[in-house]
Structure 1
């Protein structure tokens, strides 16, 4: 019972770290990264589709994304989708593809993005704390039901705390890496 609770808690903590890492990848740095277009939706063929299902996205230069539609007829819809999204970059249409030139970040924008990184990191840490809380509650319930002894409960709680420390440190490390990436000129 204890091992199952610990395994489940660790699994959920890993997922919290992965989710935080994914959120960090969506924050735009001065470099071109196709992940910034992940939330772009395109109205095409009578439905709304993710951009990656109607076009290929490549990085021809460090500060440029090239969006090539699979069907040229939907180029205007892709352009509208990008303009409606929160990417904050106006695409250049050359008739067969769209180019997104990523401007260098100014100091003010860098500070805003670092604040976002800190918020996302705190959300990740909060998720980990929630998992800890739930795991400890399960252990206390098991102790009350006399399924485990008080000593077993204490040892298991210490193991849960070690997992929390490990995965929180991982999120902190990812946050520092992303901050360094944002401060690069």
Structure 2
């Protein structure tokens, strides 16, 4: 029973690493408009850092445009300021009713840079997976040392942990391949 608890806990933590990687990929600009591109940008709304989607309607009317329609007229300047301060390099156009962000097509050099960033995100996730694997194996060794499980059970469990890790590493590689394809798509 204890072995299953260790593996279940590790699986949840590995799922978290994978979810984090997916979130990083959503924020990675690929030349295609997506609301996920600005989800992490915070607006200083009445002194409280607030996500843009909680102070405005965010939409994607076409593949190159994001529109933001604040619910409060006073939020226009705040959203503009937050977008300009963000690391995305986007130029919002404010017409008083709507904020439009045009996503320019990516240059070949920028595509290669984004590919490198995607690889770094993937490698960070793989490091997190290996850390979870290490923690799981240490827990199993401690259980064996405390005579809660036998040596054979520990080795079988470590094999299960390695197979689980391999599955998640493969998922990371698949996500990277899909993101690379999306980045290089013109």
TM-score band w.r.t. shorter chain: over 0.9
Partners of 1:128 and 1:39 lie apart in 2 by 24
Q: What TM-score comes out, normalization by structure 2 length?
A: 0.96
Counterpart residue number, 2:3: 2
Q: 1:37-56, CA deviations, whole angstroms, 9 ceiling, x for partnerless residues?
A: 12222223233322111111
Counterpart residue number, 1:153: 154
Query: How many residue pairs align between the two structures?
Result: 185
Structure 2 unaligned blocks of 5 or more = none
Q: CA deviation at 1:95?
A: 1.4
Partners of 1:60 and 1:132 lie apart in 2 by 43
Relative contact order, CA 8 A, sep 6+: which one is greater?
Answer: 1
Q: Is 1:115 aligned to residue 104 of structure 2?
A: no
The runs of at least 4 aligned residues of structure 1 exceeding 2 Å deviation read 43-48
Mapping of 1:27-176 within 5 angstroms?
27-176=28-177
Partners of 1:17 and 1:44 lie apart in 2 by 31
The alignment's C-alpha RMSD in Å is 0.9
